[in-house]
Structure 1
């Protein structure tokens, strides 16, 4: 059983490895394809440059404001102080008092009485504890070798006693590296790295100067140590390499007998900082590679679809005989929204082209009928034998001319409607007052004066005005057309009822007549261009069939609706049609 489980685990592990082996080349190919197709585009370059610029700025800030160097300096100072105190204690312990010498205090000498004797002092302050180089040198060599630091010992007067740089054990072979005969010039990469490293070095610190055998009090930290307190100073060499120096007093029974100066070698700290920066740089290279790969993938998901959309739009612009489709992207993001918007716009353009083509065909058909009638009348006129026939033909000619004039006027109005509605700005207007003005004008100057008009304006609660945003002249044209149309279908002595009211967030205008109504199959066709279904007794050709079509176009441009229904409100016979009703709804201006 354990063997079988192990084999199954091996097979699963092998399957995962095989899957990874298949997926890795696919991902690499996609990245290469994205890079090959996207790197040349402006958008792709911007994505790549912006991503890398942010990464470069971050890494540059880390390198420039790196706290690692400050922490390393503080740690090295603490380490040198600890080492110095230990070494100073060991050196002080090796110092011995010189008993055959007496330190003469000038002040005590002045205080003595004439003829008095000077006795040897018993306090330790007057004893001399000199540092013996021969005894201290082996001790210093053993203590300083593991630390890889430089140690210098100064006596109480600041005179250099020992320097670890010149301490050699007996039998030691000294080796010095000679400079190459012909130094190799640094490569471009090395020059760039050296330039960056040189710029990152600190030159705001004091410059280190080698005093050699001169008095050690020239170093401020040594002076401070000879006064009994440890001192630390951070300097830089002419090459910009940092040197940390720590001086501690060497004390024997509280008496400062000298100073121990410990200092790092030039470049030690810089080498550690450089190694740390190289680590950051390697991380940067990996991050830059990942960023570049992701940038290419991101550019591929953005730039390539945009390029396909641009190519499709260009094909649509150049296409003459066939229609081009905008590519669809099944994406729920901005690119998908843009593609869908392009498709909707293209479909709207094609629909507008179809509508224009259909409109042109309808116009040609409608103009052809009166022109054919006019041509027949003109050709028949010379053949007329009686005056009555000629007068009849002249009436036909005049009727066709008026019909042509009316058609051309309505066609011109319909063709300019979209441009005028798009060009003119909408303004708040009171639909109640607008309809009142239209009704008043229709009562005085309109056709069918024998048909009365009843108007009812319901302002609702608060008696607020019925405000909408729109074009007053065009909406007035709609209401005038509906009222005139209702009067033309009303029986003699009948009345047209107009109602204006608020219904929630819309303003509703209802025009009712008491005519024969509209056949059920014609309720939608009444809004088609050039459709006419006039009542009996009204002359043929007196209407162009564009009135309701223009009205629908105007209402829809105002984001409203217009519908036609039959009235069946007879209480005695509920199913009987008592007339037609046209309902116009417009979105109310809620801000008014």
Structure 2
């Protein structure tokens, strides 16, 4: 098992999670959506305030009604009172009682006509009503509703048995109260003293419509909440599926890449997705392929290094063994020169191998700066002439005006590219030949061309010459003078600067090769110029 890839607290504060860090993304999506539905469902609790508002309005309305009824009865005789009580009771489905000053019942609408309402016995009702009452009690408990007294008819029916009637007799003002009937529906009662103190008037009625309204609204809102919750959960599961499932597949592929048990791990690219998940999938796929290419290149490089080092080592060992057994001084001197040549070749190989193995990694950590390639090439050519590195070949440079050939890069590395191309061009050019260099800007790209007068490069070899340890060298050159890494290092550096390097024939048809470097101009950089 490969070691864990988590690193301790290396993510920025904006990406850190608190207690939710161990919660699955699916549950987070569900929780967010269900929380919103729960907030909507909280509206069910506010139906209690709606009910209280209706009850308060009914109490005020009943106080006004009983005040009007009391003043209307004051001017009537007993027969008129009975007729009015009967008519009002039948019209408003209420029970009207009149008590004398002593508190005795002298007039009852239920005695004059059939009762306008009947208190229902809960034991005789179906189970649906019991369930409804349990729900009512549950919501009252949730909102911590104020406790309401139970309504019951008084036996014997006297004024002092009704607290509101006793209060009305004492204060002379209309009072009203709400109680629960046995089936938990509101009972509204109101009392008022008659204007000349002839007694107290008491009215009561069963406001079942309030319960029906509240339950109907609660049912409608519950259906809305339930339907919304169902749709929200389905959409949440769909969203979680479209996000979590591909993320899990990508994570699984990343784990297989990390474990390295399969040579080719297929990371799903999700080409049909244009969102961030698709972008992540394609980025991970490209990253895994680039990683595999780097691993393959590293393995191939290691094999090539082993092969390239074995040849000079074998030659050196043979020369050293010969020195121990050969007595001829001339032959010994020849063997000694071979050994020295092999040592120089090994030194050159090791230096170039070290450079080739480090250049790619170092470029990813280098902060690029503006580099004027025209000025850099001009200084490099002057230095080569002063040191006699052109070996009898001439160099010519069409210096562009300042600011034309400016790129973002690392000066030392770009100078190494030009130097390697010049070495290659000079080695293939005939004595007294001319190597020309051009630098210009075209459509936001800086082009640098190195043109020699050598034999040129066959089309079939134009890709192979950039491979490491490529062995094609000019005729007559002493074996081992070059490591075969110069052009490979040049390509690595150019690609590390987001550019390209190619080789072609000369435009004028003359013998020779044209190496062309294409780099983004300074004001056209689209990619980051330094690592984040």
Aligned to 2:351: 409
Using structure 2 for the length normalisation, give the TM-score.
0.75
> Could you list the per-position Cα deviations for residues 551-571 of structure 1 after superposition, in whole angstroms to 9, with x for gaps in the alignment?
1011011110111112141xx
Residues 377 and 148 of structure 1, relative CA distance in 2, 3 Å threshold: farther
Aligned: 1:135 with 2:80 = yes
Aligned: 1:468 with 2:450 = no
Aligned to 2:495: 556
**Contact 1:501–1:507 under 8 Å retained in 2:** yes
Q: Spell out the pairing of 1:267-346 with structure 2 (5 A cutoff).
A: 269=210, 272-320=213-261, 322-327=263-268, 329=270, 331-334=272-275, 335-346=277-288
Q: Distance in 1 between matches of 2:323 and 2:421?
A: 39
Aligned to 2:34: 52
Gaps of 5+ in 2: 1-21, 124-129, 147-161, 526-532
> Could you list the per-position Cα deviations for residues 469-488 of structure 1 after superposition, in whole angstroms to 9, with x for gaps in the alignment?
21111111111211222222
Q: Distance in 2 between matches of 1:265 and 1:167?
A: 15
- Which SS does the other structure have where 2:37 is aligned? helix
Cα drift, residue 410 of structure 1: 0.7
Residues 175 and 451 of structure 1, relative CA distance in 2, 3 Å threshold: closer
Aligned to 1:22: none
Cα drift, residue 534 of structure 1: 2.2
Aligned: 1:196 with 2:139 = yes
Q: Distance in 1 between matches of 2:488 and 2:99?
A: 111
Gaps of 5+ in 1: 1-39, 96-128, 181-186, 204-208, 224-232, 252-256, 570-574
**Contact 2:37–2:229 under 8 Å retained in 1:** yes
**Contact 2:466–2:487 under 8 Å retained in 1:** yes
**Contact 1:153–1:260 under 8 Å retained in 2:** yes
Q: Distance in 1 between matches of 2:179 and 2:375?
A: 93
> Could you list the per-position Cα deviations for residues 205-240 of structure 1 after superposition, in whole angstroms to 9, with x for gaps in the alignment?
xxxx943134469587x49xxxxxxxxx9x877999
Greater mean alpha carbon deviation, residues 540-549 or residues 306-315 = 306-315
Q: Spell out the pairing of 1:215-226 with structure 2 (5 A cutoff).
A: 215=168, 218=171, 222=174
Aligned to 2:465: 526
- Which SS does the other structure have where 1:468 is aligned? strand
Cα drift, residue 313 of structure 1: 2.7
Q: Distance in 1 between matches of 2:399 and 2:103?
A: 114
**Contact 2:421–2:515 under 8 Å retained in 1:** yes
Residues 196 and 74 of structure 1, relative CA distance in 2, 3 Å threshold: closer
For this pair of structures, how many residues does the alignment match? Answer: 481
Aligned to 1:588: 521
- Which SS does the other structure have where 1:211 is aligned? helix
Aligned to 2:368: 426
Greater mean alpha carbon deviation, residues 306-315 or residues 358-367 = 306-315
Aligned to 1:380: 322
Aligned to 2:378: 436
CA RMSD of aligned residues (A): 4.6
Residues 175 and 195 of structure 1, relative CA distance in 2, 3 Å threshold: closer
Greater mean alpha carbon deviation, residues 484-493 or residues 171-180 = 171-180
Q: Distance in 2 between matches of 1:163 and 1:384?
A: 152
**Contact 1:496–1:511 under 8 Å retained in 2:** yes
Q: Distance in 1 between matches of 2:114 and 2:394?
A: 132
Aligned to 1:364: 306
Residues 322 and 154 of structure 1, relative CA distance in 2, 3 Å threshold: same
Cα drift, residue 368 of structure 1: 1.1
Aligned to 2:89: 144
Cα drift, residue 89 of structure 1: 8.5
Aligned to 1:542: 481
**Contact 2:165–2:200 under 8 Å retained in 1:** no
Aligned: 1:64 with 2:46 = yes
Q: Distance in 2 between matches of 1:480 and 1:444?
A: 14
Residues 71 and 176 of structure 1, relative CA distance in 2, 3 Å threshold: closer
Residues 585 and 418 of structure 1, relative CA distance in 2, 3 Å threshold: same
> Could you list the per-position Cα deviations for residues 316-353 of structure 1 after superposition, in whole angstroms to 9, with x for gaps in the alignment?
33343653333454632444443333332222222211
Aligned: 1:399 with 2:399 = no
**Contact 1:211–1:218 under 8 Å retained in 2:** no
